[in-house]
Amino acid sequence: MSNPMGAVMIPGPGRDTDGAADASVKEPLRRVLTWWLASRVLVLGLVVAFAAAARMPLGTHALRDGSWLLNRFAFWDSYHLGRIAEHGYFDGGRTCCEQAFLPGYPFLVRAVSPLVLGHTIVAGVLVSVLASTVAAWALWGIVLDAAGRTPVGLARARRAVLLLAVAPFGVFLVSFFSESLWLAGALVAWWAGSQRRWWVAGLGAAVACATRINGVFLVLALVVMYAVQLRADRRLRPRVDVLAFGVPTAVLAAYVTYLHAQTGSWTAYRDAQVTGWGRGFSWPWQSIPHQWDFIWAAPTSWLSVSRGIDLAVVLGGLVLTCAVLWMRRWAEAAYLVLSVGVILTSPTFGSSGRYALTWFPAYLVLAEVWERPRWRWLPRLAVAVALPLGAVVLLFFATRHWVA
């Protein structure tokens, strides 16, 4: 069964299929998701193994619960997310800077926490692992939807999930961080939008917008996808399902309104970013040399390596954006221009590797070019680089050296 754009339809969000068609993808999908969960268990195990080998202490951070094992997966931004989950944004007279973190992930952690005897870290890791599995499922579906339910399509879908699995900063998809939930919402939205199920796409985008601010970039990219579909249909007026974009917009408006009610400022989110992390604006020709100097000014070799990785990630994102523009993949390009551009125009590139997990067009493009004889060396090189780099990131994470 094909959609009006010529792509083969597969079982997806809110879609019914006949039994034979459904069976043709169920078993491959089951194997892919089983393999995905096994890879997540491996990542969790490696973090524990590295930390044990380094004889890492229990730690004294505010989110600790007395368990050395659980505390391996909560650090840096986890503290802010944990405080929101346990106490809300402004409990105890706090005025800054938890409002720089959107409520989707910590509120879901809070909802799950009673199911795991009130252990916030357990709830956070569980949410991350399950959300990352949803993201892998949706990524598989996006690729198979575009490539068709054929051996070639199934192979491409598996490769896309493989690329996500070996992403160097993938440890954050199983830890107390919000990237996994964002990816789940974003990829479900992208899948549904490509199938023209825009109300489902709106709900997925709402999850993304409630989780991380680059949900705004996702919504704008989905608008481009919608416009491309209208042009393909030779329509001048949008369909009624254009109202689905109001769902994520309402989520963002609600959060901004809440912060205004609490702080009296309509720019409370931005103010928290500036006050807490010094986020500002810098032209790329200023920010890149500054990041280069920042590498050599690091007080430790560990931090120099981390900052060097950040610079390499941003430059790689710039190359990826140019490639997607050249391929005329307009919706993906719109997302990358905004997502990479916001980092490229920041004074420093801190946490770029973790942010790059959300650059999902990379997985789509690399999985596709893997089949082209002229370019298949590129995704293979990406995997060859990602594996040792991922080991370095795991070691940094496990031993509490800055990498987030």
pLDDT in tens, 11-23: 455 444 444 445 5
Q: What tokens does 329 get?
A: 């993949």
Cα 126 → chain centroid: 16
Confirm whether 8 is domain-assigned: no
9 pLDDT band, cuts 50/70/90, is very low
Q: Residue 56 is which amino acid? A: M
Structure tokens at 197: 């199920």
Per-residue confidence band for 184, with pLDDT thresholds at 50, 70 and 90: very high
Asked which of 180-189, 271-280, 368-377 is least confident by mean pLDDT, the reply is 271-280
Helices 77-87 and 104-112: angle between axes, nearest 10 degrees: 60
For 130, other C-beta atoms within 10 Å of its C-beta total 17
Q: Which residue's entry shows tokens 């997985």?
A: 363
> How far lies 202's CA from each of 68, 138, 209, in Å?
40, 15, 10
More confident residue, 236 or 159: 159
- Domain tally for the chain? 1
Choose the weakest-confidence range: 183-192, 269-278, 352-361.
269-278
pLDDT recorded at residue 94: 75
Local structure of 404: helix, strand or coil: coil
Spatial distance between the Cα atoms of 133 and 12, rounded to a whole number of angstroms:
15
Q: Given this model, what pLDDT does residue 36 score?
A: 95
Mean pLDDT of the chain: 89
End-to-end distance of the chain based on CA atoms, in angstroms?
Answer: 44
Check residues 14 and 389 and name the one with the higher pLDDT: 389
In this predicted model, what pLDDT tens digit does every residue of 109-157 receive, in sequence order? 999 999 999 889 999 999 999 999 999 999 999 999 999 888 899 999 9
**What φ, ψ does residue 2 adopt, rounded to 5°?**
-120, 150
* pLDDT value for 356: 94
pLDDT value of position 210: 97
**Cα–Cα distance measured from residue 110 to residue 81, given in angstroms and rounded to the nearest whole number:** 10
- CA 116 remoteness from chain centre: 25
* Separation between Cα atoms, residue 104 and residue 183, nearest integer Å: 12
Domain residue limits at 212: 19-398
| Residue 12 placed within a domain | no
What contacts 315, CB < 8 A, 6 or more positions away?
Answer: 288
The reply to whether 11 falls in a domain is no
Q: What are phi and psi of 8, to 5 degrees?
A: -75, 130
Give the confidence band of 280 by pLDDT, cuts at 50, 70, 90: confident
In order of 94, 139, 227, 235, 306, the CA distances from 232 in angstroms are 51, 24, 9, 8, 44
Contact between residue 210 and residue 186 where contact means Cβ atoms under 8 Å apart:
no
pLDDT, tens digit, 9 for 90 and up, residues 60-116: 665 656 678 888 888 888 888 998 998 888 887 777 788 999 999 999 999 999 999
Comparing C-alpha atoms, which of 31, 307, 323, 356 is closest to residue 167? Answer: 356
- Is residue 163 over pLDDT 90? yes
| Per-residue model confidence (pLDDT) at position 68 | 82
| Long-range contacts from 219-224, C-beta under 8 angstroms, 24+ separation | 219/245, 219/248, 219/249, 220/334, 220/335, 220/338, 221/331, 221/332, 221/334, 221/335, 221/338, 222/189, 222/190, 222/193, 222/331, 224/330, 224/331, 224/334
Residue 384 lies in a domain: yes
**Rounded CA gap, 19 and 21, in Å?**
6
Give residue 103's pLDDT: 95
For residue 397, the cross-strand partners are none
pLDDT of 182 strictly over 60: yes
Tokens of 384: 């060859």
On whether residue 404 sits in a domain, the answer given is: no
Residue that the structure tokens 């368990």 belong to: 67
Helix 104-112 vs helix 179-194: angle between axes, to the nearest 10 degrees? 110
